[in-house]
C-alpha cells in the first residue's frame, strides 16, 4: 500500500509555531494566473503513520547493516556510524554555502585537508571535491581533457579509448564531453591487449580511460608500457578510481603515470551508498591540469582558508556550490580513523578476503581468469548453463532466499554469465565461509532440481517481477483511480 492510499483528508503531522499573519494574501498581491488553484496531492498523515509507513518500507530492503553484500565493483564495506555522527554535527550540517568565509573556517579546513589526503593517497598534485558522484567525476575528467587539448591547439584529438571491460559510465562520460569512444579489447589474461592498443593509438586520441585493478579484479601489470605508449602519442591517461580499494596505501595512480584520477568516496572511503546515492567523486590531476579544475578551489595562506574563484582557464562548474560536503566529512573521518597504516591494512584485507573466497568458490565454478586476484574476482557462469541448466540470474535469485545479496551479475560484459564478487575487508572469515557454503548448497539444489532455482526467490516480499510489462507501458506514478 502506498503512502497515498493511507492518506486521509484533513489529517496532518505538521505543526508550526502559533503566530499572527501580517496579512499578505497571495491572491491579493500576485497576478491571478500565478496563484496555485489546486493543491498538490501530497499525503495527509499523522506523524506516527508516516513513521510506520517508512519503517515498513525499510524492512523490505536488504542492506550492509543487514547482511553480506558482495556486489562486485561497488565496494559495499561497512559504513561506520562515527562518520554519520560527525556529518550531523550542527557545526557541519547547519551551515550555509554563502556564509562569510571567516564563519566557515572549520568547513574549509576539512575540505583543504581532505584534498591533501587524497593527493597523498593517489600521488596527484591537485584535487577538486566538486563532482557529486563517480560518473560526475568522469565527466569532469573528460572536460579537463577537452579543455587541455583545446588550449594546446590540438582540438583534433576527438577520441577516447576505453577497454571493453569498462563500466558503462566511462563511454557515456566521454560522449558527454564530445568525444568519440573507441573500445580496446582485453587479452586472454583479462588485461588490455597492448597490440590492439598500439593499432588504435594515434594523434587523434585524447586519452585512455583505465580502471586499475580493472573490472575483472586484475592489476594491469603492463601499466608502465601503456603509460609510455599513451604519452608518446601525446594522449592523457585517466584513472577510474572505482577499484582503488585494492591498492590504497600500496601503490598510487599518480606514480603509475596517470594524469587524471577520479575517486568514489562512497566506495573506497566507506561513505554509505544510500540506495543509490549521494556519492562523491573528487577528481585529482597532475600539475599540468590544475589551472583547469572547476571553481572554486580551497586555498590556505598559512592562517586563513579561502575559496578561490579566479581560475581563468577553469572548465567552470559542474554543479552548485562546492560538492557533497556532508559526504566529505564521512570520508575525512574514515581516513583519520584508519590512518595511513589502517588504509594500507584495509586494502590488504580486502585482497585477502577476495582471494580466500575466490579459492573456495573456484572449486565450484571456474573463475574467468586464472591466478590471484586483487579485491574482487569474476566467475564464469557458463558452466551453470551447460551443466545444471540454470542461469547466473537463477543462482542470484536463489541466494536471496538464503538471505544473502548476490554478487554483481552479467558484468563485465566480456565474461559469459558473469558473477562478479567483491567481499570487502570488513567481512569476517565466517561470513565468507557462509557464502561459499550457501553457494555450494545452491549448486547441489541445481543438480537435483533446477526448478528450485528458476522459481526463486520464494522467501522475499515479492517474487520475480514482470519487468517487460513495466517497461512496455511504464506506470511511474501513483494515481487516484487505479
Partner 1 sequence: MPGFPYLPQTSRDIDEMLEVVGVKSVSELFKDIPEKFEVDISIPESKDEFSVLRDLSELSKNNVTLNDLSVFRGAGVYKHFVPSAVQAIASRGEFLTAYTPYQAEVSQGTLQMLFEFQTMICELTGMEVANSSMYDGASAAAEAALMAVRVRGGKKILLSEALHPEYIQTIKTYCFGSDIDVETVSFDSETGQIDIADLQKKLTVDTAGFVLGYPNFFGIIENLAEIRTRIGEKTMMIVSVNPIALGLLEAPGKFGADIVVGDGQPLGNSPSFGGPGLGFFASKESHIRKMPGRIIGETKDSDGRTGYVMVLQTREQHIRRNKATSNICSNHAFNALVASIYMSIVGSEGLREIARRSFDKAHYLTERISKTDHVRLVFTGPFFNEFVAQFDCDLEEFNRGLLKENILGPLELERFSKEMKNYGLICATEANLNEEIEFFAGRLEAIR
Partner 2 sequence: MKKYAATHEWVSVEGKTATVGISDHAQDHLGDIVYVDLPEVGKSLKKGDVFCTIESVKAASDIYAPISGKVIEVNEELDSSPEKINEDAEGSGWIAKIEMSNESELDSLMDLEAYKKHCEEEG
Instruction: Give the footprint of partner 2 on residues 353-412 (CB under 8 A).
Output: 410
| Segment contacting partner 1 by CB under 8 A, of 199-207, 228-236, 384-392, 397-405 | 397-405
- 82 grid coordinates: 562515527
Question: According to CB under 8 A, which residues from 184 to 223 bind partner 1?
Answer: 218-219, 221, 223
Question: According to CB under 8 A, which residues from 411 to 450 bind partner 2?
Answer: none
**Residue 468 lies near partner 2 (rule: CB under 8 A):** yes
Supply the minimum distance, in Å, between the C-beta of residue 47 and partner 1.
Answer: 5
**Residue 342 lies near partner 1 (rule: CB under 8 A):** yes
**Residue 470 lies near partner 1 (rule: CB under 8 A):** yes
Contacts with 357 (C-beta within 8 Å, 6 or more apart), sequence order: 70, 377, 421, 423, 432, 435, 436
Cα end-to-end span (Å), the chain: 12
User: Is residue 273 within 8 Å of 103, Cβ to Cβ?
Assistant: no
Pairwise CA distance, residues 170 & 183, whole Å: 11
**Residue 96 lies near partner 2 (rule: CB under 8 A):** no
Cβ neighbours, 10 Å, residue 145: 26
Write each residue from 254 to 273 as x if it is in contact with partner 1 (CB under 8 A), else as -, in one continuous string.
-xx-------x-x---x-xx
C-beta of 300 vs 410, nearer to partner 2: 410
13: closest CA among 40, 53, 55, 50? 50
From partner 2, partner 1, none, which one binds at residue 302 (CB under 5 to 8 Å depending on kind)? Answer: none
413: closest CA among 385, 375, 378? 378
Out of 396, 415, 443, 453, point to the residue binding partner 1 (CB under 8 A).
396
Q: How many residues bind partner 1 (CB under 8 A)?
A: 204
- DSSP-based three-state secondary structure for 194: helix
Out of 303, 312, 462, 481, point to the residue binding partner 1 (CB under 8 A).
462
C-beta of 97 vs 447, nearer to partner 1: 97
- DSSP-based three-state secondary structure for 278: coil
Supply the minimum distance, in Å, between the C-beta of residue 200 and partner 2.
Answer: 22
Supply the minimum distance, in Å, between the C-beta of residue 269 and partner 1.
Answer: 12
- Please report, to the nearest 10 degrees, the dihedral formed by the alpha carbons of residues 366, 371, 372, 378 taken in order: -30
User: Is residue 212 within 8 Å of 243, Cβ to Cβ?
Assistant: yes
Question: According to CB under 8 A, which residues from 76 to 105 bind partner 1?
Answer: 76-80, 82, 84-100, 103-105
Supply the minimum distance, in Å, between the C-beta of residue 467 and partner 2.
Answer: 5
CA angle 337, 304, 329 (to 5 degrees): 30
From partner 1, partner 2, none, which one binds at residue 74 (CB under 5 to 8 Å depending on kind)? Answer: partner 1
Supply the minimum distance, in Å, between the C-beta of residue 81 and partner 1.
Answer: 9
User: Is residue 111 within 8 Å of 252, Cβ to Cβ?
Assistant: no
- 65 grid coordinates: 547493516
| Segment contacting partner 1 by CB under 8 A, of 198-206, 228-236, 351-359, 446-454 | 351-359
**Residue 447 lies near partner 1 (rule: CB under 8 A):** no
C-beta of 23 vs 386, nearer to partner 1: 23
| Segment contacting partner 1 by CB under 8 A, of 201-209, 232-240, 242-250, 378-386 | 242-250
From partner 2, partner 1, none, which one binds at residue 407 (CB under 5 to 8 Å depending on kind)? Answer: none
Pairwise CA distance, residues 71 & 62, whole Å: 12
Question: According to CB under 8 A, which residues from 448 to 467 bind partner 2?
Answer: 467
Pairwise CA distance, residues 328 & 298, whole Å: 14
From partner 1, partner 2, none, which one binds at residue 274 (CB under 5 to 8 Å depending on kind)? Answer: partner 1
For 106-119, b where at least 16 C-beta lie within 10 A, e where not — what string? ebbebbbbbbebbb
Pairwise CA distance, residues 47 & 309, whole Å: 44
Supply the minimum distance, in Å, between the C-beta of residue 341 and partner 1.
Answer: 5
| Segment contacting partner 1 by CB under 8 A, of 115-123, 231-239, 415-423, 438-446 | 115-123
CA angle 169, 172, 174 (to 5 degrees): 105
Per CB under 8 A, residues contacting partner 2 are 410, 467-468, 471-472
Amino acid at each position: 500500500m502506498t503512502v497515498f492510499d493511507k492518506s486521509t483528508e484533513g489529517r496532518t503531522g505538521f505543526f508550526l509555531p502559533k503566530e499572527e499573519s501580517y496579512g499578505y494574501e497571495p491572491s491579493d498581491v500576485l497576478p491571478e494566473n500565478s496563484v496555485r488553484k489546486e493543491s498538490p496531492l501530497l499525503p495527509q498523515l499523522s506523524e506516527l503513520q508516516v513513521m510506520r509507513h517508512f519503517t515498513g518500507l525499510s524492512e523490505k530492503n536488504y542492506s550492509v547493516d543487514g547482511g553480506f553484500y558482495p556486489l562486485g565493483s561497488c565496494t559495499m564495506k561497512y559504513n561506520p556510524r562515527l562518520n554519520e555522527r560527525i556529518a550531523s554535527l550542527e557545526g557541519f550540517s547547519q551551515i550555509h554555502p554563502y556564509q562569510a568565509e571567516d564563519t566557515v573556517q572549520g568547513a574549509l579546513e576539512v575540505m583543504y585537508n581532505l584534498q591533501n589526503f587524497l593527493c597523498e593517497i593517489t600521488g596527484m598534485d591537485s584535487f577538486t571535491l566538486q563532482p557529486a558522484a563517480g560518473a560526475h567525476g568522469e565527466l569532469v575528467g573528460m572536460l579537463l581533457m577537452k579543455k587541455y587539448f583545446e588550449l594546446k591547439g590540438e582540438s583534433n584529438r576527438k577520441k577516447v579509448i576505453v577497454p571493453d571491460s569498462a563500466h558503462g559510465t566511462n563511454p557515456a562520460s566521454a560522449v558527454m564531453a564530445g568525444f568519440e569512444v573507441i573500445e580496446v579489447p582485453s587479452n586472454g589474461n583479462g588485461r588490455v591487449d597492448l597490440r590492439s592498443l598500439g593499432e588504435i593509438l594515434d594523434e587523434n586520441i585524447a586519452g585512455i580511460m583505465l580502471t586499475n585493478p580493472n573490472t575483472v579484479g586484475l592489476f594491469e601489470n603492463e601499466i608502465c608500457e601503456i603509460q609510455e605508449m599513451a604519452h608518446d602519442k601525446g594522449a592523457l591517461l585517466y584513472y577510474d578510481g572505482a577499484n582503488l580499494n585494492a591498492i590504497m596505501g600500496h601503490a598510487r595512480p599518480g606514480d603509475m603515470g596517470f594524469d587524471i584520477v577520479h575517486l568514489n568516496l562512497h566506495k573506497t572511503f566507506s561513505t554509505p551508498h544510500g540506495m543509490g546515492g549521494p556519492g562523491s567523486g573528487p577528481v585529482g590531476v597532475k600539475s599540468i591540469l590544475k589551472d583547469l579544475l572547476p571553481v572554486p578551489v580551497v586555498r590556505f595562506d598559512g592562517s586563513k582558508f579561502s575559496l578561490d574563484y579566479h581560475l581563468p582557464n577553469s572548465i567552470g562548474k559542474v554543479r552548485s556550490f562546492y560538492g557533497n560536503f556532508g559526504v566529505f566529512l564521512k570520508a575525512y573521518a574514515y581516513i583519520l580513523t584508519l590512518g595511513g597504516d589502517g588504509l594500507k591494512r584495509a586494502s590488504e584485507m580486502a585482497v585477502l578476503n577476495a582471494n580466500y573466497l575466490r579459492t573456495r568458490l573456484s572449486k565450484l565454478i571456474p573463475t574467468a581468469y586464472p591466478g590471484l586476484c586483487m579485491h574482487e574476482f569474476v566467475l564464469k557462469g557458463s558452466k551453470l548453463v551447460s551443466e545444471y541448466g540454470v542461469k547466473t540470474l537463477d543462482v542470484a535469485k536463489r541466494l536471496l532466499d538464503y538471505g544473502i545479496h548476490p554478487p554483481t551479475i552479467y558484468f563485465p560484459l566480456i565474461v559469459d554469465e558473469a558473477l562478479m564478487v567483491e567481499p570487502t575487508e570488513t567481512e569476517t572469515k565466517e561470513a565468507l565461509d557462509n557464502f561459499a557454503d550457501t553457494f555450494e548448497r545452491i549448486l547441489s539444489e541445481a543438480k537435483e532440481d533446477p526448478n528450485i532455482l528458476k522459481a526463486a526467490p520464494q522467501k522475499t516480499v515479492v517474487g520475480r517481477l514482470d519487468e517487460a510489462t513495466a517497461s512496455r507501458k511504464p506506470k511511474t506514478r501513483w494515481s487516484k483511480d487505479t
